[in-house]
Amino acid sequence: MNNGMIPQSIIDEVLRRHEISETVGKVVHLVKNGKYLKGLCPFHSERTPSFTVTPEKQIFHCYGCGKGGNVIKFVMDMESLTFPEAVKQLAEEIGLPVTWSAASNAEPTPQQQEKQRLVEAHEYTAKLYHYILRNTEPAKPAMDYLRSRGFTDALIEEFGIGYAPARWDTLTNALERKGYAASEMETAGLLSRKQEGEGYVDRFRDRVIFPIHDGNGVPIAFAGRLMTSGQPKYLNSPESPLFSKSRTLYRLNEAKPVIRRTRQAVLFEGYVDVIKAWSAGVHNGVATMGTALTNEHAAVLKRFADEIVLCYDGDDAGQAAAHKSIPLLQGAGFAVRVSVIPNRMDPDEYISANGPAAFVRECIEGAVSTIKFQLIYLRKAHILLEEDGRIRYLREAVKLVARQDSPTERELLLKELSQEFGVSIDTLKQESSEVRQREKLGNARDIPSGTWNNEWNEKRTSSRHPTLAPANVQAERQLLAWMMLDADMASIVQERLGDDFHVEDHAALAAYLYAYYAQGNDPDVGRFITTLQDDRLESTASAIALDHTPFDERVMDDCLRTIGRASLAREMERKKEEMHHAERSGDPIKAAQILTEIIALDKRRKQQ
């Protein structure tokens, strides 16, 4: 195992002090299911929970996407961290002093080398664009534009804003001089291949540039606003080995301290809104990057926040996006409030028109509950000046109110509707009661849209049956499951089977287990998984560890015999190939010798 300079005692303490169900529970809504906890996977979109946490073994595994491991692996995958970075973060959360070096004497993998080159290229590009904005004549119109939008020198410096010149080869030539391969820079999203002919050109041209960082402050992408007429007006970096739009939140690294302290995040639609809100004193603001809010975004935020304030644009599109985001955020376990910005303004326009204090007071502190927002949003779909429009609105509004859990909240909301529309409160209460009764006793069509309901989803089972693995593969998994729980069991398997596993990953896990116990370690699935340092092996080990079959010596012997027979069958197939080759080569004597060996192997197989 190579974890850089991290002491094993620190890793063990991190695993011991971080209960996996608590760490995962900050991100995933978990429901107890026997020995397991289940929920919707944060790593891929699903409607039926296939994500499982096993507190007894301190591991997680998703049957849908295959991800799995211990608490360190969960944080690594959730926040795109390296092993040392994840251990460091978890250690800091429990007050362990971080006194080790993350450096490693081991040669970095090709993937690590590629990632480091791409990060360095982004760092250089960010500095180049920033320098061009602050120091060159061609960037003057861009600087004038920023000034007109209220960007001060302090804001430009704080956010590292830059400018990409209108030329096609400014960055291309600069990166070439620095020794970066153009094809690799295309992969990074910094350059584009020419549409005609050979070569590459700058991806961003004549644009104000906003660097995008990951959750640790590392530059991974850029967003550019075009200075002239043309399309697209806003352009983001494409998906790359560094940048995933569905997981990246603009300004998260800088916002994390305030989000952690207040347990609240303000979610904006764009990076300019985040910047202007930051200048207004809102330092817990983040934004999605050119995509709608995703489950992955919500899962990232859940590690730091309990409440989300949605501060989207006040126009129809912004309010529709907020309305769509509410069930997603509530399904992830957030308390949600929504800013209602008047006159179809966006946050940037509101701050410019009314000032920072009014924005904080009216739009952030004055954000309304989700039910209030839904009622406001619902009004836009009805013509309230007409009687039919008022009736339809009231019926739909009562349905929304009826679905609220709190009787007090229902009472207050129905009173407001009663006073506004001159309808008896008793009539509205009766209709609300009928809605609640209907939906409680109704069928699938009555389940409110957006409801996050594990029990309901679990009943929607597929009619397809999973394909069973061959008997010898199942036997190998069973042996490995027991080996992870018992050093003596591992010793028996090592003596009788060694590395004679048919599945390559199983053979690798067995070898790791032999070495793990040889070092005097006690059985501990979570600790063992830290020795693997391989995504595929960690996932395989966590899936196998979910097995709870009690040890049975006769079953163990059956497993060993099954694997032994499969090994002999595999050897027989290899010998048959050799025999056919000898026959085709005109060597009947050698073919006869091999046939004798095949007969002997078959006899041994039948005696197993």
Question: 452 or 336, which is more confident?
Answer: 336
The predicted model gives 563-591 an average pLDDT of 76
Lowest mean pLDDT among 266-280, 341-355, 451-465, 537-551: 451-465
**pLDDT value, residue 174:** 96
310 vs 255: CA distance, rounded Å: 15
**pLDDT value, residue 607:** 61
507 vs 159: CA distance, rounded Å: 50
B/e letters for 254-291, b = 16+ CB within 10 Å, e = fewer, are: bbbebbeeeebbbbbbbbbbbbbbbbbebbbbbbbbbe
Residue 228: left if φ>0, alpha if ψ -120 to 50, beta else—which one? beta
Lowest mean pLDDT among 231-235, 485-489, 572-576: 572-576
Question: Is 432:402 a contact under the CB 8 Å cutoff?
Answer: yes
Tell which residue, 489, 493, 498, 500, has the closest CA to residue 566: 500
The predicted model gives 308-314 an average pLDDT of 94
Instruction: Tell me the CA distances in angstroms from 467 to 258, 260, 291, 517, 522, one per residue in order.
Output: 49, 45, 37, 34, 35
- Checking if the pLDDT of 348 tops 60, the result is yes
**pLDDT value, residue 605:** 61
Question: 403 or 269, which is more confident?
Answer: 269
Read off the amino acid at residue 283: H
391 vs 509: CA distance, rounded Å: 66
Share above pLDDT 90 across residues of the chain, in percent, rounded to a whole number:
38
pLDDT tens digits, residue range 154-189? 999 999 999 999 999 999 999 999 999 999 999 999
Please name the helix (run of DSSP H) or strand (run of DSSP E) that holds residue 408, with its range, or none: helix 407-421
Tell which residue, 4, 66, 54, 107, has the closest CA to residue 536: 66
Residue 495 sits at φ, ψ, to 5 deg, of -70, -40
Lowest mean pLDDT among 28-32, 139-143, 250-254: 28-32
- Checking if the pLDDT of 390 tops 90, the result is no
425 vs 394: CA distance, rounded Å: 12
pLDDT tens digits, residue range 411-442? 888 888 888 888 888 888 888 888 888 876 33
The predicted model gives 24-52 an average pLDDT of 85
Residue 445 is given by DSSP the state: G
- State how beta strands 335-338 and 207-213 pair: unpaired
**Residues recorded for the chain:** 608
Read off the amino acid at residue 55: P
Question: Is 206:227 a contact under the CB 8 Å cutoff?
Answer: yes
**pLDDT value, residue 464:** 39
**pLDDT value, residue 15:** 92
- Checking if the pLDDT of 462 tops 50, the result is no
- Checking if the pLDDT of 451 tops 60, the result is no
Instruction: Tell me the CA distances in angstroms from 392 to 2, 388, 395, 396, 593, one per residue in order.
Output: 66, 6, 5, 6, 89
pLDDT tens digits, residue range 488-543? 999 999 988 888 888 888 988 988 899 889 888 889 888 898 888 777 888 899 88
Share above pLDDT 70 across residues of the chain, in percent, rounded to a whole number:
91
| Residue 469 pLDDT level (bands cut at 50, 70, 90) | low
Give Cβ neighbours of residue 8 (< 8 Å, ≥ 6 apart). none
Q: Report the chain's mean pLDDT, rounded to a whole number.
A: 85
Tokens representing residue 44 in the block: 């891929």
**pLDDT value, residue 441:** 33
**pLDDT value, residue 255:** 93
Write down the residue that tokens 């904080």 correspond to.
360
**pLDDT value, residue 601:** 60
pLDDT tens digits, residue range 75-108? 888 877 778 888 988 998 888 887 765 444 556 6
CA 320 to chain centre: 24
Residue 338 sits at φ, ψ, to 5 deg, of -130, 130
497 vs 490: CA distance, rounded Å: 10
